[in-house]
Structure 1
Amino acid sequence: MLQPAGVAPAWLARAGRFANAVALTNTLGVADDAQAVRLFLRERASHSPHTLRAYVTELRRLAAWCTRERLGPFSDLTRRDLMAYRDTIQAPRHHGDGKTRRAAPATVSRALAVVSSLYAWWHRTGYLSVNPAEGLAAGRRARMTWTPVRFLSAAALANCDAVATGDTPDDVPSTVWTRRRAIWALYRFAGVRLAELVWNEALALPRIEVDEARQWTLHVTGKGNKVRAVPLPSACLPALRAYRRVRGLPDDPPPGEQLPLIHSERGRALGPSGLYDEVRAVFALAAARLPPDDSAMRVALEGASTHWLRHGYARTLVVDHLVPLPVAQALLGHASVETTATYARTDSTQLRAFVKGSFPVP
């Protein structure tokens, strides 16, 4: 999975100077980087195809750099090595058009975050005796300067909503389409991460609670196994109720119901790949129905994922409706309010409106 072009398989299948050979403290129970990388990816990235691809891409980038520099494996890299790698990906590069460009800050931040996460997890689980990547990523500074950019425009979202609430396509079974509409409604109007809609039988989550006024609240498990409650707007309830009727369930979940929210065709809980594919299918259909000259929106829809809907949900709360940051933080399940605050920096016109409103003309 990790082998980039020009890197021999044996390069990763060994242990470096910082690998912990003491079985008592090496809780992973493996003796080389190849096995340790697989466990890391399974633990930290397997819940989302998009996350897994991103993690593998960044680890391949590091492996390719190590090969060029005649370094490695990963568990042999020193702090100085990793700092040199950071300098390399931040340095300007010459391109075929004769221009020199630097990697986008978001690209650099993502690359360093993945590498830092690998070493921190390895050290925490005892595979490494030290963490040479401590402080590699910018940490707090990165969170304060990061700005989410993976958004769909209001027009693109409206186009997707029209597709999702429209008639069943001729080539899609009605039961599949009803399920797809329900999945779209949950990601579109709850702002959840991909993995948060995956059924956890031990916790009986995610689940829906309905109050006396027939208002729905979605309960999910977020990062750090923290449970949070997300009120669902009325806009998404028709699709969810229609899907429950197709499954032979009452419109509203009764108290104590412990069933997966979404099922596969075989009757089991639908996993992360299935959920991801259903949302991507809505994006693809919306892109296919665009006029031929609307290439910009088509490109955006073809590259969108479930996390784009989460970004859009956050922006709607923070920018469009000025929801207080602590409230938005609780709804999104952010560990830090600083992460929630980044969405406020995505619209400079909002800042101008705040200033004008604070200092009106006499």
Structure 2
Amino acid sequence: MSDHPLSTVVPQALPPTLSGIVGTNRASTGVTRQIEANDDVAAIGLWLAEYHSSPHTFRSYRKEAERLLLWATQLRGKAVSSLMREDVLAYEAFLAAPLPTWCDDALARHGYHRRLFTGPLSDRSRRQALGILAGLFNYLVRAGYLAGTPFALQPRRRGARGTRRTIERYLERALWQDVLAKVEQWPQTSPREKQRYERARWVLRVLYETALRATEAAQANEGDLRHRRGRWWLHVTGKGGVEGDVPVSDALMADFARYRTFYGLLPTPNSNGRCPLILGIAGRTTPLTATAVYLVVKDALVRVADALEPADPVGAARLRQASTHWLRHTAATHQAEAGNPVHHIQHNLRHSSIATTSIYLHAEEDARHASTTKAHAGASHDPYDKDGTA
């Protein structure tokens, strides 16, 4: 049990009424099972195992599974496989107002007796948590472990169908150019400053040009760069094990050569090499972790924000919010604004559905804003008619 994804949550065996062995929502004996797991911890652990190749997703999903498992068994007095729709509604309310004992700063960050919340979850975080758990229950139903899912009764939220969402977490082109320009102004008088500059310069460019997630960038190596018909491509194995090839420009390959040369490496990639695309600290050939890549980007954007603050406080505030995933959104948005076909952007981002990619299409929204504000500019600023009514 020690190597089980939930071993730190359930250190001892649960009684049958809480373990799920006799869960009231367990599938009937006549259903063909796709998994051998016969209790909730084992079944949830198998679901988590499907995401081992994506560490960030795995950690996020495990956190939500742990919270639900502990809430159900400790506070609700039920097995996860006995939860009903009323329980789901109660859990949603709990996420908005978790017990103070679950948020205590004095608790450890790891282990059985640890802090599970830092405070109430926002609306967005609650929706994300419930979405992850809905995916868990759907998986267990398809596996023949559960008879049904109480999440299936959740009403569709307004705007979920028929209303196109747009992504807002991206940097406008002018602000992105400011980022690149400000990084070029960083001091480079010492070896440490030069290393910091070259690393930030490369990491920002490679994440923007390829639209990689932080985890994908951390896992990529020189052997993933492929040369076909005079063009460079980067082979990526991403979220959910989805593979794809991302176009790499000659300009980015020149940046790659510069970055490698700075650390005394050959400027061209070895097709059989395992040297990471983003080198470790001081140019070591051990790769950075996804968290380290994230921190490099955050540090760079905060430094740029500090430099930009006097001239552009709004842009500086936006940079302080930004992260590695903003660069992915920024890349997709700029590709869309440049007129790239949406199906090309879909392949570049490795989206399974073109509807997901469509959230980056801002042109129609911008045109509506322009036509509306232009109409207002030519009209009277008096909000009242001659008879005094609005």
Q: Select 2:276's aligned residue among 260, 264, 270.
A: 260
Alignment partner of 1:15 is 2:32: no
Superposed CA RMSD: 4.6
1:218 paired with 2:218, answer no
Q: Is the 8 A contact 2:73 2:80 kept in 1?
A: no
- Tell me, yes or no, if the aligned pair for 1:15 and 1:32 is still in contact at 8 Å: yes
Match of 1:314 among 304, 313, 332: 332
- In the TM superposition, what whole-angstrom CA distance separates every residue of 1:91-122 from its partner, at most 9, and x where no partner exists? xxxxxxxxxxxx76x55643432221232345
Q: What residue number does 1:76 align with?
A: 82
Match of 2:172 among 140, 150, 153: 153
TM-score, length-scaled by structure 1: 0.69
SS of the aligned residue for 2:345 comes to: helix
Kindly indicate whether the alpha-carbon contact (under 8 Å) linking 1:279 and 1:305 is maintained by their aligned counterparts in 2: yes
TM-score, with structure 2 as normaliser: 0.65
Task: Give 2:207's match in structure 1, choosing from 175, 182, 187.
Answer: 187
2:260 pairs with one of 228, 240, 244: 244
- Residues 219 and 120 (structure 1), Cα distance of their counterparts in 2 relative to 1, 3 Å cut: same
Contact 2:275 2:285 in 1 (8 A): no
Matched, 1:335 2:352: yes
Confirm or deny that 1:232 pairs with 2:252. no
Determine the C-alpha separation between the residues in 2 that align with 1:233 and 1:76. 54
Pairing of 1:166-205 with structure 2 (within 5 A): 166-168=185-187, 172-199=192-219
Write the mapping of 1:44-63 to structure 2, written as runs, cut at 5 A: 44=51, 47=54
Q: Unpaired runs of 5+ in structure 1?
A: 91-102, 355-362
Indicate how the Cα distance of structure 1 residues 276 and 129 shifts in structure 2: closer, same or farther if over 3 A, else same: farther
Identity over aligned residues, as a percent?
28
Report the Cα offset of residue 337 of structure 1.
Answer: 0.6
Please give the secondary structure, in 2, of the residue aligned with 1:220. strand
Tell me which residue corresponds to 1:304. Answer: 322
In the other structure, the counterpart of 1:287 is 305
Which structure has the larger Rg? 2
CA distance in 1 between counterparts of 2:84 and 2:317 reads: 41
Letter of the 2:360 partner, please give it. Answer: Y
Cα drift, residue 243 of structure 1: 1.8
Residues 48 and 273, structure 1, Cα contact 8 Å, conserved in 2: no
The residue type equivalent to 1:174 in the other structure is: K
**Could you list the runs of 5+ residues in structure 2 that have no partner in the other structure?**
97-121, 372-390
For the 8 Å contact 1:71–1:77, the answer to whether it is kept is no
Q: How many residues are matched?
A: 330
Q: Indicate how the Cα distance of structure 1 residues 32 and 8 shifts in structure 2: closer, same or farther if over 3 A, else same.
A: closer
SS at match of 1:279: helix
